[in-house]
């Protein structure tokens, strides 16, 4: 692999040694490292539009303007998390572009679960969050988030940037975030090195997208549903036009959430889910 120190001291770049942990053919074989960026997704998108090859990863020690879904900010302090964006050019139909978050979520869940001794501690909360699924003081708190930004025409997906932010260790969260945030270190994880987490994400993302290209989205949808927090429970859902309660059934192959509201099954493409007993996430996270 090649670590490119775009704006950081060479020592920072050399310290990010993925090679012992990496099993990919292309993804994360070139990594661009920055001490700080406004947003790793913005940088990766600019490189994608300039013709960068698939597999490139952009990493920052901190972000000053990290972004999440629906315009939300992502708190990205130095020394507390992993902030990375993965450039892919998947051979998938452009109609499947909205479901890329589904594939990325499954990959991130499987990668991060490796660092927690007990099974079932992490769960997926639609559309793009990894949260604590185990009962206890951290139930429902957010550990990681995903932001997928893609460009497609009527024939193909030109590029997809998969942004992943992971809380590795507890940070001095702002007051608005503290009730809704948790870190891998809070969950019995042995404070994995950033390079280990980055390599695990790259390994799983490459495998997940290769599976989607070969077999469609059915396998990923099934694994997402199996890992869904609140599956079978009554949850509250808001989208751009509606608020309703219903039993969470899982996810469809196109990434839509399926909710049984009694008289009908709703499919939701954009919105938020509130789980019973879980904290409501703030707009900044």
Task: For residues 123-128, give the mean pLDDT.
Answer: 92
* CATH class of the region 2-227: alpha beta
Q: What pTM value is reported for the model?
A: 0.91
Contact 159, 151 (CB under 8 A): yes
d(CA 174, CA 268): 31
Is the pLDDT at 115 greater than 60? The verdict is yes
pLDDT recorded at residue 172: 67
User: Sign of the CA dihedral 75, 17, 131, 269?
Assistant: positive
Task: For residues 91-107, give the mean pLDDT.
Answer: 92
pLDDT recorded at residue 223: 95
pLDDT recorded at residue 66: 81
Is the pLDDT at 14 greater than 50? The verdict is no
pLDDT tens per residue across span 183-221: 998 887 666 789 999 999 999 999 999 999 999 999 999
Kindly give, in sequence order, each residue whose CB lies less than 8 Å from that of residue 34, ignoring residues fewer than 6 positions away.
6, 7, 8, 40, 43, 58, 59, 60, 61
DSSP labels, 33-95: EES-BS-HHHHHHHHHHTTPPTTEEEEES-BSS-B-GGG-B----TTTEEEEEEEE-----GG
Task: For residues 159-164, give the mean pLDDT.
Answer: 97
Task: For residues 6-31, give the mean pLDDT.
Answer: 73
Task: For residues 172-181, give the mean pLDDT.
Answer: 77
* Domain ranges (residues) in the chain: 2-227, 234-274
pLDDT tens per residue across span 37-78: 999 999 999 999 999 999 999 999 999 888 866 567 778 888
Contact 89, 160 (CB under 8 A): yes
Between 271 and 131, name the one with better pLDDT: 131
What rounded mean pLDDT belongs to the chain?
A: 87
Task: For residues 132-139, give the mean pLDDT.
Answer: 91
Three-state SS at 229: coil
Three-state SS at 253: coil
pLDDT recorded at residue 278: 77
Give the percent of the chain with pLDDT over 70: 89
Assign domain 234-274 one CATH number from 4.10.1060, 3.30.70, 2.30.30, 1.10.1060: 2.30.30
pLDDT recorded at residue 8: 41
- Of 9, 50, 51, the C-alpha closest to 33 is 9
pLDDT recorded at residue 283: 46
Residue 48's φ and ψ, nearest 5 degrees, are -60, -45
pLDDT tens per residue across span 236-277: 988 777 888 999 999 998 889 999 988 889 898 888 888 887
Task: For residues 6-21, give the mean pLDDT.
Answer: 60
pLDDT recorded at residue 285: 42
Contact 170, 80 (CB under 8 A): yes
Report residue 178's pLDDT band, with 50, 70 and 90 as the boundaries: confident
């Amino acid at each position: 692999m090649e670590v490119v120190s775009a704006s950081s001291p060479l020592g920072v770049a050399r310290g990010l040694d993925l090679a012992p942990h990496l099993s990919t053919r292309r993804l994360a074989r070139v990594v661009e490292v920055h001490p700080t960026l406004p947003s790793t997704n913005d940088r990766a998108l600019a490189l994608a539009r300039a013709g960068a090859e698939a597999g490139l990863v952009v990493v920052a020690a901190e972000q000053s303007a990290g972004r999440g879904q629906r315009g939300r900010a992502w708190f990205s302090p130095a020394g507390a998390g992993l902030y990375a964006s993965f450039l892919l050019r998947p051979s998938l139909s452009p109609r499947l572009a909205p479901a890329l978050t589904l594939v990325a979520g499954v990959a991130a869940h499987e990668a991060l679960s490796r660092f927690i001794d007990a099974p079932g501690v992490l769960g997926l909360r639609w559309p793009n969050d990894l949260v604590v699924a185990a009962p206890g003081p951290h139930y429902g708190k957010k550990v990681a988030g995903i932001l997928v930004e893609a460009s497609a025409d009527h024939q193909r997906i030109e590029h997809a940037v998969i942004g992943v932010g992971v809380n590795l260790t507890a940070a001095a969260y702002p007051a608005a975030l503290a009730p809704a945030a948790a870190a891998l270190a809070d969950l019995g994880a042995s404070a994995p090195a950033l390079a280990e987490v980055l390599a695990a994400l790259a390994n799983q993302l490459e495998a997940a997208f290769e599976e989607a290209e070969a077999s469609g989205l059915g396998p990923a949808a099934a694994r997402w549903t199996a890992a869904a927090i609140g599956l079978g429970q009554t949850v509250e859902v808001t989208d751009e036009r509606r608020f309703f309660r219903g039993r969470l059934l899982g996810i469809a192959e196109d990434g839509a959430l399926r909710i049984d509201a009694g008289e009908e099954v709703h499919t939701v493409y954009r919105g938020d889910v509130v789980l019973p007993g879980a904290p409501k996430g703030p707009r900044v996270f």
